Amino acid sequence: MRESMVIAIDGPAASGKSTVAQRVAARLHYLYFDTGVMYRAVTLAVIQQQVDVNNQKAVEQIAMATQINVTPPSIEDGRQYDVVLNGVDVTWQIRSNEIEANVSLVSTYPGVRQAMTERQREIGLQGRVVMVGRDIGTVVMPDADIKFYLDASVQERARRRYTECMQHDMQTTYESILAAMQSRDHIDSTREIAPLRKAADAIYLNTSDLSIDMVVDQVIQQLVLTE
């Protein structure tokens, strides 16, 4: 296995990529960096400033002016990191339904992507990192040492998200989660800039019938093979 690797993991929502990446990063003592939180934080800033998410220019300006920091967890409440937006801890706020409903649109805007991609690259280039997102292998870190693309059927992914919501006593239905997920998949994979897609040199893993442990084992096996 190589020293100081950049490991890219892309895939749609609830494909298992975040959990797998966390475990792989913990085993290797690498930084785990979930790039989706940055798009979520921008979306929250837009909503807080009562700007219309359809107002591309205004949203892009917010993205450029907003300070987002992702730092090690300061509270033991199940979080993997703190997400700090302009000095305020927003780690859980960025998981709300309102953010879920708007983040895909916000992340289609070129000015938003440019601002986020630059910041993500700075962190990625430091090495010893497992980066998770939609465009890490294709755009953010095209020279990553190894790339994975995790996938699962949309029904299975909606079922996973529904189970998570039930565990947190959130009011929702399987049908509404499935519909929201289909809509996000569509926006993420058809946008003009940096759409969700597998990099040509990424290893494809379908996680529909695999446990998290099985996926982690497969990823580690592949890492061991890199020279």
Q: State whether residue 148 is helix, strand or coil.
A: strand
CA distance 11 to 77: 26
CA distance 149 to 62: 30
Among 16, 124, 133, 137, binds ligand DC (CB under 6 A): 133
Nearest CA to 225 out of 56, 67, 2, 16 is that of 2
Nearer to ligand DC, 39 or 149 (CB): 39
Q: What is the DSSP string of 67-126?
A: -EEEES-SS-SS-SSEEEETTEE-TTGGGSHHHHHHHHHHTT-HHHHHHHHHHHHHHHTT
Among 160, 188, 216, 219, binds ligand DC (CB under 6 A): 188
Nearer to ligand DC, 180 or 219 (CB): 180
- Report the nearest approach of ligand DC to the CB of residue 209 (Å): 22
Among 30, 32, 33, 39, binds ligand DC (CB under 6 A): 39
Which window, 24-32, 44-52, 128-136, 198-206, contacts ligand DC (CB under 6 A)? Answer: 128-136
Among 19, 22, 35, 102, binds ligand DC (CB under 6 A): 35
Nearer to ligand DC, 35 or 91 (CB): 35
